[in-house]
């Protein structure tokens, strides 16, 4: 679960740095789609790991009700966006291309989306919301480590 967590961070950072219209810059587009796709695969693995193992996860000390509420809300949002952002990216791709070749392989795109809808903006907004939330989540981890001085960050390393 820890490996999935940190590899996801690398994949999300790569997808964010290489984001842009993959039709305009195919090389960056290839990296964007591969890293974004990796985020989705890791999300599926994370869900399986969560369902099988969550009873064994170490429990953190809850400081107060507000902290518990924030923790649960951010966790649910992070899980949701780990799925929604790559899926919206795939739908965005389908809306701007009637065919797409990735590493010489034809990617299946939903042809009925092409032309009628433009979904790039929705994906862009969701991607930015996701990365902002990750920033907040990282600040919370650093807050625990340096201010509260507990084991939350150490427990992930």
Of 4, 21, 77, 117, the one binding ligand HEM (CB under 6 A) is 21
Q: What are phi and psi of 39, to 5 degrees?
A: -60, -40
Q: Check if the beta carbon of residue 131 is closer than 8 Å to that of residue 12.
A: yes
Of 36, 42, 109, 113, the one binding ligand HEM (CB under 6 A) is 36
* x/- letters, 56..85, toward ligand HEM (CB under 6 A): -x--x--------------x--xx--x--x
Alpha-carbon torsion (125, 127, 128, 133), positive or negative: positive
Q: What are phi and psi of 19, to 5 degrees?
A: -70, 150
CA atoms within 13 A on the CB side of 4: 15
Q: Check if the beta carbon of residue 81 is closer than 8 Å to that of residue 126.
A: yes
> Tokens in use for 121?
């903006």
Contacts 24+ apart (CB under 8 A), 139-146: 140/70, 140/74
Residue 33 in contact with ligand HEM, rule: CB under 6 A: yes
- Determine the interface stretch with ligand HEM among 61-69, 108-116, 123-131 (rule: CB under 6 A): 123-131
Closest approach, Cβ 36 to ligand HEM, in A, equals 2
* x/- letters, 40..59, toward ligand HEM (CB under 6 A): ----------x------x--
DSSP 19: -
- Determine the interface stretch with ligand HEM among 61-69, 109-117, 121-129 (rule: CB under 6 A): 121-129
- Residues at the interface with ligand HEM (CB under 6 A): 5, 8-9, 12, 15-16, 19-22, 32-33, 36-37, 39, 50, 57, 60, 75, 78-79, 82, 85-86, 89-90, 92-93, 96, 120, 123-124, 127-128, 130-131, 134, 137-138, 141-142, 152-153, 155-156
């Amino acid at each position: 679960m820890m490996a999935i967590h940190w590899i996801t961070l690398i994949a999300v950072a790569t997808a964010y740095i290489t984001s842009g219209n993959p039709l305009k810059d195919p090389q960056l587009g290839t990296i964007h789609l591969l890293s974004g796709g990796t985020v989705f695969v890791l999300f599926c693995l994370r869900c399986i790991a969560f369902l099988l193992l969550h009873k064994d996860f170490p429990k953190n000390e809850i400081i107060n009700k507000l902290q518990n509420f924030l923790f649960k809300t951010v966790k649910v949002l992070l899980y949701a966006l780990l799925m929604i952002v790559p899926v919206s990216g795939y739908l965005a791709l389908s809306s701007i291309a009637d065919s797409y070749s990735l590493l010489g392989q034809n990617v299946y795109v939903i042809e009925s989306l092409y032309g009628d809808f433009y979904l790039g903006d929705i994906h862009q907004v969701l991607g930015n919301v996701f990365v902002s939330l990750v920033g907040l989540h990282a600040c919370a981890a650093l807050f625990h480590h340096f201010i509260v001085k507990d084991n939350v960050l150490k427990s992930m390393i």
